[in-house]
Amino acid sequence: MSPLSQLTPLFVEDQQAAVKIPEVSKSKTYLLVLTVATQETDGFRRFLRSAKHFNYTIKVLGRGETWRGGDYMSPPGGGQKVRLLKSALEDIQDENRVILFVDSYDVIFSSGPRELLKKFQQAKHRVVFSAETLIWPDRHLEDKHPHVREGKRFLGAGGFIGYAPNLKKMLSDWSGADSDSDQLHFTKIYINPEKRKSINITLDNKCRLFQNLHGALDEVVLKFEDGRVRARNVLYDTLPVIIHGNGPTKLQINYLGNYIPNLWTFETGCTICNENLRPLSGLQSEYPVVVIGIFIQQPTPFVTVFFERLLNLKYPKNRLQLFIYNQESHHEPHVRTFLEYHESEYQGVKLIGPEEDIDPVTSRNIGFDMCRDNIDCEYFFSVDVDVVLKNEDTLRILIELNKPFIAPMMTKPGLLWTNFWGALSADGYYARSEDYVDIVQGHRVGLWNVPYISHIFLTKADALRTDLKDPDLFESATLDPDMAFCSKVRNKGVFMFVTNVHTYGRVLSTENYQTNHLHNDLWQVFENPEWEERYIHENYSKVLKDGFIETPCPDVYWFPVFTDVACKHLIEEMEHFGQWSGGGNTDNRIQGGYENVPTIDIHMNQVGYEKEWQKFLLDYAAPVTEKMYPGYYTRAQFDLAFVVRYKPDEQPALRPHHDASTFTINIALNQVGIDYQGGGCRFLRYNCSVNAPRRGWALMHPGRLTHYHEGLPTVQGVRYIVVSFVDP
């Protein structure tokens, strides 16, 4: 005799019949969970994790079998589950054994066995099925379903609980094929009054045990309380134990599964971020081989910087292979220069250039194949060239998280834009999830299963060789390639995770990028913060915070503002334009057509840089002006801003003069002693000279009245400066 049968029987009255139901007190011992899983998918691993969290006893049926039971979107299907369950029940002889049968790929437990059995006992029936709002697969059977005073009326076959003898009886006449409908089979039993009474079946009408999401999305919310998170049905004010993302609600179960059971709470934060890791630190053997796919599909700013950051990734280059797809002729010199200096450092490189006329979708598949076909390749790291990889440990971090598909969260400064979507609209486009803003702003930090990822991701080669082996992953009659790809990844049961545990970088804005200049990145001052990192001196911030500023002459201030790259690009841009003035007094470029103290120069408006230059002055010169000249406030207006060229055989110096400005900014663009000899600026009133201008440093001084000055002779080489007459 089973110990369970020795418990004091609890007799209850039922509308159908008086049924004896033993009171269950030792939940783990007498409850067995049966499920079917022919493949170990991400959804199945999620199910097992939730079961382990609550100490459920699980028996998995069908492992190693080929699935022949159809799919969730089209009937019939599911008969294979019935066959496997019927066979498994034959081995269970304990008549008081309680069996929970649930799907696994789209199911999570929200509470433990004790609560489940208590609620089952309170249902006062021997078999309890989950209930649904919608009838499926045969709507013609709607009128045959018993009416209920309150709650859901229709049976759901994705979850039921009952005593083994009753379940055996329910399955005794099953002889269907694996492809037949389990839902229809159980529905016909339920709507048959005699069978319903004989087996003693009821539905969990108010979702106390089971919550099916299809047709009930508006009813379900997350409930955070006392360090715990679970689902709450707000329509019936119940806390279901089992959550089932049945039918087309996989995205919603994925969303809930980011939290339930206790994967993320306000008290603990992320509880799974350190689970099942693949540590690389202290690795004795060699690092895994990674193919990095680099995709250049449109004109993009700061491509040179992209390759610099690629070089700085903290990962052994002899374990990296590069696949570079470049569709833009404009970027050929950038790619060529990178490979000329660094190709030999990598394990291998494959380049597809614009002359090969390969479309972007095909290029993605070729990149995948480079990894698939290499037996040593363990990961494919896909990176679009507009990604700014600021975190040098990004690749290591993603590998260590050990997910089949994972991406680092990338942002655009000042915006809520990221490289992932938290939800999808009904037609498969962007929708904002309830937690999206908190994730983007860092109020919720963790690992997030999301429906869409773009620009950058890491996927395991094993996934590319199995679930994601189809050649049409990016193809769709209605969706863009990136959306089609994510849709097919989801439909293959592969979870796409995004992590915001660390700060990884951002994505550039490419909308207004033009390619009609030599150094087009100079024009990005409005668009991308990368401009500041590329062109503003690393010590500029110290000027305002720490007073990192010198006073070589009275009321003359000297401070760093430009990087060497900025100086080089400005010189090269002007020489590329080439239309230097003649240095005469007649100058049709200025109002009145006469220049009293002419120089050989090119004005910013000649190269279309006046708006960008005013932005520079406003952001970087004006704050220093207001700091050093208290009480004066500037809007950084200017009539003249220009690059001057001094050469011994052209114009070596400039005679004493006042500037037509309230204050003047004079920035040295090249280096005395290296690029030229001589030069400098002398303030006559103070008999004070700055004889060794530093490249990238700005001299700021009053323009009128007090600071009469001259340009000292350049005796060798070529000297370049950029001058701005501010607030004329």
Q: Domains, the chain, ranges and CATH?
A: 26-264 (3.90.550.10), 290-507 (3.90.550.10), 520-726 (2.60.120.620)
What are the strands, taking DSSP E only, across 174-233? Answer: 201-204, 210-212, 220-225, 228-233
Pairing assessment for the beta strands 348-352 and 447-450 based on DSSP bridges? unpaired
* pLDDT the model gives residue 277: 96
Quick one: tokens of 594?
Answer: 């006469």
Helix (H, G, I), strand (E, B) or coil at 603: strand
- Residue where the block lists tokens 């694996």: 178
* pLDDT the model gives residue 489: 97
For 645-689, what is each residue's pLDDT tens digit? Answer: 999 999 999 999 999 999 999 999 999 999 999 999 999 999 999
Statement: residue 376 has pLDDT above 80: yes
* pLDDT the model gives residue 511: 92
For 129-162, what is each residue's pLDDT tens digit? Answer: 999 999 988 899 999 999 999 999 999 999 999 9
Give the DSSP letter string of 362-373: HHHHHHHHHHHT
Quick one: tokens of 489?
Answer: 């990844």
Statement: residue 13 has pLDDT above 60: no
- By the 10 Å C-beta count (0-12 exposed, 13-18 middle, 19+ buried), 468 is classed as buried
What are the strands, taking DSSP E only, across 25-150? Answer: 31-36, 58-61, 98-102, 107-109, 127-132
Quick one: tokens of 431?
Answer: 């929708």
Cβ–Cβ under 8 Å, residues 152 and 203: yes
Statement: residue 1 has pLDDT above 80: no
For 415-446, what is each residue's pLDDT tens digit? Answer: 999 999 999 998 889 999 999 999 999 999 99
Statement: residue 11 has pLDDT above 90: no
> Kind and range of the H or E element at 119?
helix 113-123
Distance CA 410, CA 405 (A): 16
Cβ–Cβ under 8 Å, residues 413 and 403: no
Q: Largest Cα–Cα distance in the chain?
A: 115
* pLDDT the model gives residue 27: 45
Interhelix angle for 481-491 vs 360-372, to 10°? 40
For residues 318-341, give the mean pLDDT.
97
What are the strands, taking DSSP E only, across 303-421? Answer: 320-326, 348-352, 377-384, 387-389, 405-408, 420-421
For residues 342-361, give the mean pLDDT.
97
Cβ–Cβ under 8 Å, residues 100 and 32: yes
Distance CA 612, CA 569 (A): 14
Distance CA 361, CA 633 (A): 54
Statement: residue 14 has pLDDT above 70: no
* pLDDT the model gives residue 693: 87
For 204-247, what is each residue's pLDDT tens digit? Answer: 999 999 999 999 999 999 999 988 999 999 999 999 999 999 99
Among the listed residues 633, 634, 622, 628, the one whose alpha carbon sits nearest the alpha carbon of residue 547: 628
Distance CA 536, CA 99 (A): 68
For residues 452-456, give the mean pLDDT.
98
Catalytic annotation, residues: 719
For residue 270, the Cα-to-chain-centroid distance in whole angstroms is: 17
Among the listed residues 139, 141, 100, 130, the one whose alpha carbon sits nearest the alpha carbon of residue 213: 130
Within 8 A by CB and 6+ apart from 386, the residues are 300, 455, 507, 508, 510
- By the 10 Å C-beta count (0-12 exposed, 13-18 middle, 19+ buried), 342 is classed as middle
Taking the whole predicted model, whether its pTM rises above 0.85 is answered as yes
Statement: residue 408 has pLDDT above 80: yes
For 559-568, what is each residue's pLDDT tens digit? Answer: 999 999 999 9
Quick one: tokens of 281?
Answer: 């630190």
- By the 10 Å C-beta count (0-12 exposed, 13-18 middle, 19+ buried), 575 is classed as middle
* pLDDT the model gives residue 214: 96
